[in-house]
Amino acid sequence: MKKLLFGKASNRGISLILVLWVLMLLSVIAAEFSLTMRAEGGSVRNFRDEAAAYYLAKAGIEMGIAEIAADYNIVSRNEDGIVAFMKSEGGVFKPLESQRSFGLGGGRVEYTINDESGKLNLNIAARQEIEELLRIAGIEKVERDTIADSVLDWRDENHEFHLNGAEDDYYRSLPKPYEAKDGLFDSIEELLMVRGMSPLIFFGNKIPPEFGLQKVEDEHKGIARFVTVKGDGKININTAEEEVLEAALGRAKAQEVLLRRNTEGYFEKPAYGGVPSSNIFSITSVGEVNGFQVRLKAIAERKPALPKVRITYWNENPLLY
């Protein structure tokens, strides 16, 4: 009788231990499952926030397009240097209303509009204008000559190189070889492929981290903000910065334009070989949700026929400059 009781007690002890092991195993599995679910839930939230930020950025692009599509007579800059669309009302030019930073859908949108006609067109600019812009940017003579001639070689259709330029033989000799385009620039980023051009000359002291270079502490604007590959080459004298005006018109006329802008506010009619309005603009939009940011860039051209505004360039990972 005692032996039988001992056997039952032993079985109960073993069962208890097994139950405890099973409970411990289930607890570990439950904890792991909970951790996995939290991680997956976080991933879903991150994906949701990133997607929302993307569509907020697209909303900013659409808002910019709406501004470009509105009726305006001239394009100028306001007191803060922001591109403004102005319409004549009773002989007086007034800026059209715009709100380029606002909250939407639990996030935030901010977009900027830049006038491409206020820049030097790489596809049209004369060699002297390109060389002068480089001089203003502080580039030495030897480098200026190399870059200016190489830009001409890059965009022309022949295989003959200018005195300081480059064609296929030079580009094929590089560690990562390629050929000269022998065609017009499609984007200003192509300029980084041209002989003599460097990230420092292009970006100035705001070199993006993806280039793996140390940022320069000295004040250096770079030329990216002053050049375009869009438009007919006519400079908008209301929006062009001093560097562009000086490169295109010479220092004396550039100072006259700036003086008149300071005193009169804006030009109403063409002057100095430039124009007072524009029809092609770049829009850079940033959407942000819970710390996630998405940046988009588009170049939009206003047309006399429908559709009134046409996108000619789209970039979902634009470089900052």
In sequence order, the 6+-apart residues with CB closer than 8 A to the CB of 150 are: 162, 164, 165, 166, 194, 195, 196, 197
Least confident among 141-155, 194-208, 213-227, 305-319: 213-227
CA geometry: angle at 227 spanning 221 and 230, to 5°? 155
- pLDDT tens across 128-168, in order? 999 999 999 999 999 999 999 999 999 999 999 999 999 99
Residues of the chain with CATH 1.10.40.60: 123-228
Question: Above 80 in pLDDT, residue 218?
Answer: no
Whole-model pTM: value is 0.83
Identify residue 22 by its one-letter amino acid code.
Answer: V
Higher-confidence residue of 217 and 96: namely 96
Q: What is the pLDDT of residue 320?
A: 80
C-alpha separations of 300 from 16, 284, 314, 315, 316 in Å? 75, 11, 9, 12, 15
- Cα distance between the two ends of the chain: 93
123-228: what fold?
Ribonucleotide Reductase Protein R1; domain 1 (1.10.40)
**Residue 273 predicted with pLDDT over 80:** yes
Reduce the secondary structure of the chain to three states and give it as a string.
CHHHHHHHHHHHHHHHHHHHHHHHHHHHHHHHHHHHHHHHHHHHHHHHHHHHHHHHHHHHHHHHHHHHHCCCCEEEECCCCCEEEEEEECCEEEECCCCCEEEECCEEEEEEEEEHHHCEECCCCCHHHHHHHHHHCCCCHHHHHHHHHHHHHHHCCCCCCCCCCCCHHHHHCCCCCCCCCCCCCCCHHHHHHCCCCCHHHHHCCCCCHHHCCCCCCCCCCCCHHHEECCCCCCCECCCCCHHHHHHHHCHHHHHHHHHHHHHHCCCCCCECCEECCCCEEEEEEEEEECCEEEEEEEEEEECCCCCCEEEEEEECCCCCC
pLDDT number for residue 45: 73
| Residue tagged 């860039």 (tokens) | 297
Distance in angstroms (rounded) separating the CA atoms of residues 214 and 265? 40
**pLDDT at 70 > cutoff 80:** yes
pLDDT confidence of residue 25: 74
Which residue in this structure is represented by tokens 């935030």? 108
